[in-house]
Amino acid sequence: MADDMRPQLGSYGQAYMKTPHLDKLSASGLHFDFAYTNFAYCAPSRNSFMSGRRPDRTRCLNFMHTFRKAPGGEAWTAMPQFFKKHGYFTSAAGKLYHDGMDDAPSWSFPSNQTHWIKCQKGDMNYHTDANYCGVTNESKVTYTDEDLVLEEGLRRIELAHASGKPWWVGIGVHRPHWAYRVPDGFYGPQLYPPGADDVVQPPAHPQAPEGAPWMSGNWEGGDIHDPAHGCPSCIVPNVRAIEYRRWYYAAVTYSDHMLGRALAKIDELGVANNTIVVFHADHGYQLGELNEWSKKTNTELAVHIPLFIRVPWKNNSIGKRTQVKAELVDMYRTLAELTGLGGVEDGVQGTSLAEVFDNPAALQKKVAYSQIPRCGCHGGYKHNSTECGLNVCIYTGLNSTDFNFMGYSVRTDEWRYTAWVPWDRHTESVAWSAFTAKGASELFALANDTGRDFDFAGYSKNVAGEAQYAPVVTELHQMLVSAVSTWNPGDGDDKVFV
């Protein structure tokens, strides 16, 4: 598992990216061109796919609690716990569940949530607002947290293998999460050098989308610290944008290197032919496209993730690509079926993608959903006239006056539609009856998107308000309403999100 990684990789058509291990995994397994997180920041996303429930069901819509606090959540069987119950050795190292939100019932051998080592004194380019830094001999800590994760992760693979049991082991790295801290040999200019042949380019579309609803953006609350960053029209100059992107790319390559070490261990143990390998990120990322420098939005780049699954005994999937709209919430059911363990408990959501491994053209009508809240949208917040105070959402109760909207999106082959629905703090649910399409809906025409395109011309204009697209908006809006109404079905104490 990577953190904040978008599918800007060699196997996604970006040949300049140095991602040999990810590209090899893609070529030896099934490559998903269109895979999506269900929530574009860390804790809600991970609570969702590790439990097999959509964010509305887990009620984990920020960093306040885990899925175990949802009504009935203490009795749920999480994904690794499902395998544990079937006799598997289960363990993890690094960031699988969000940092500080580990789930003891998931593991037959304790996991290790390795401490995140951020930029510090002695690092190259260290300062208090560093967007990137490099480990040096003078660094206070001369290694990265990825080094510790791999040490613990590889040890767990060895213990799992020695147990004589089948096993489920997860390894999660922090890179390429901001700030981009990497060791010597993986510095941005070393891997992606500037000069006449510089492959690092500035964002092709740095302006916010034309007609974007005011509550949709995260222009002020992004990760990157830059004097020009902080409003819908504040554009980071190309020279600095290129440098931030250069180091992000380097952090992607460093993550690729870590994956290579894990894959080498599987080969060394001689179990590659009967081991499923899954690689994905928790969500996507934006590097200045549409004037966004983070995730925490419902844009395509924020939710679009890389996904590769290698199932050695599924010959029809080896080296193939699929266009199915995969969602991370699908992983639980998919892995349960691929391992032949059969059905999962009632309440596990998502769709099994197992049939795609026999026929990569299957499930082509499937759509993908995502959601994200907006808070601090009312008077008293600095930017309430142009955007919400998004980071207010992170640590506030769902019944707080700070919770204002929930953005729900549906991605089809041709469209990405989003509705920003008012939030009712008294019922802790959205109020569809209070939704007004004008100024609170988005429609982007993405029929030409191949899943490998980072130019994003199709995402530069919101066409939801144009009369010719009214039938499309009506159809997709009803699709959203119908889907959301099923996500939290209620079991006594649950509040139904309708």
Q: What does each of the 498 residues of the chain score in pLDDT, given as a tens digit?
A: 999 999 999 999 999 999 999 999 999 999 999 999 999 999 999 999 999 999 999 999 999 999 999 999 999 999 999 999 999 999 999 999 999 999 999 999 999 999 899 999 999 999 989 999 999 999 999 999 999 999 999 999 999 999 999 999 999 999 999 999 999 999 999 999 999 999 999 998 999 899 999 999 988 888 999 999 877 788 999 999 999 999 999 999 999 999 999 999 999 999 999 999 999 999 999 999 999 999 999 999 999 999 999 999 999 999 999 999 999 999 999 999 999 997 899 999 999 999 999 999 999 999 999 999 999 887 666 656 678 887 889 999 999 999 999 999 999 999 999 999 999 999 999 999 999 999 999 999 998 889 887 767 778 899 999 999 999 999 999 999 999 999 986 533 333 322
For the chain, give every domain's residue range: 10-357, 368-487
What CATH architecture applies to the domain 10-357? 3-Layer(aba) Sandwich (3.40)
Question: If you ran DSSP here, which 8-state letter would residue 281 be given?
Answer: B
Q: Which residues contact 108 (CB under 8 A, 6 or more apart)?
A: 84, 88, 89, 90, 91
Per residue in 4-17, pLDDT (tens digit) is: 999 999 999 999 99
pTM: 0.96
Can you list the alpha helix ranges (DSSP code H) found in 137-280?
145-162, 188-191, 238-268
In single-letter form, the type of residue at position 283 comes to H
- What is the DSSP track for 23-37? HHHHHHSEEEEEEE-
Q: Residues 34, 39, 42, CA angle at the centre, nearest 5°? A: 110
Predicted local confidence at residue 385, as pLDDT: 64
Are 463 and 443 in contact, with CB atoms under 8 Å apart?
A: yes
Orientation angle between helical segments 145-162 and 238-268, nearest 10 degrees:
20
Nearest Cα neighbor of 289 from 372, 219, 230 is 219
CA-to-CA distance for 171 and 190, rounded, in angstroms? 26
